[in-house]
């Protein structure tokens, strides 16, 4: 199973904090992340967290991330406005 989440993480320190939390709480899961490169506000601008494992509970993962103060949702297909070039 693979689940992809969007978060409002903005830097490497925050990402490592979430990575460490998830790998400790869910040691059987593979966790990876990519930073936002759009410059848009959350949710259109976001950091992706990918979680992979033979079994995973998305609700538990989101709850864990939210408990340490970050937003987290399952990635859905949405159309976001393009960043203005002003």
In a domain, 34, yes or no: yes
> Three-class SS of residue 51?
strand
Q: Which two tokens stand for residue 26?
A: 């869910």
Q: Which pLDDT belongs to residue 82?
A: 63
In a domain, 53, yes or no: yes
Q: Which pLDDT belongs to residue 85?
A: 54
Read off the CATH number of the domain in which 46 is found. 3.30.70.100
Query: Which contacts (CB < 8 Å, 24+ apart) does range 43-47 have?
Result: 43/6, 43/71, 43/73, 43/78, 43/80, 44/78, 44/80, 44/81, 46/6, 46/7, 46/8, 47/6, 47/7, 47/8, 47/9, 47/10, 47/15
Total domains, the chain: 1
* Domain of 33, in residue numbers: 2-74
In a domain, 84, yes or no: no
In a domain, 41, yes or no: yes
Instruction: Give the Cβ contact number of residue 22 at 10 Å.
Output: 19
- Over its length of 86 residues, how does the chain's per-residue pLDDT go in tens digits? 999 998 988 888 999 999 999 999 999 999 998 876 656 666 676 788 999 999 999 999 999 999 999 999 998 765 565 655 55
Q: Distance between terminal CA atoms of the chain?
A: 41
In a domain, 29, yes or no: yes
In a domain, 86, yes or no: no
């Amino acid at each position: 199973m693979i689940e992809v989440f969007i978060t409002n993480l903005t830097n490497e320190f925050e990402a490592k904090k979430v990575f460490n939390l998830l790998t400790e709480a869910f040691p059987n899961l593979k966790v990876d992340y990519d930073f936002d490169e759009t410059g848009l506000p959350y949710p259109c601008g976001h950091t992706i967290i990918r979680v992979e494992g033979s079994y995973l509970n998305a609700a538990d993962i989101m709850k864990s991330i939210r408990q340490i103060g970050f937003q987290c949702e399952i990635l859905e297909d949405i159309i976001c406005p393009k960043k203005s070039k002003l």
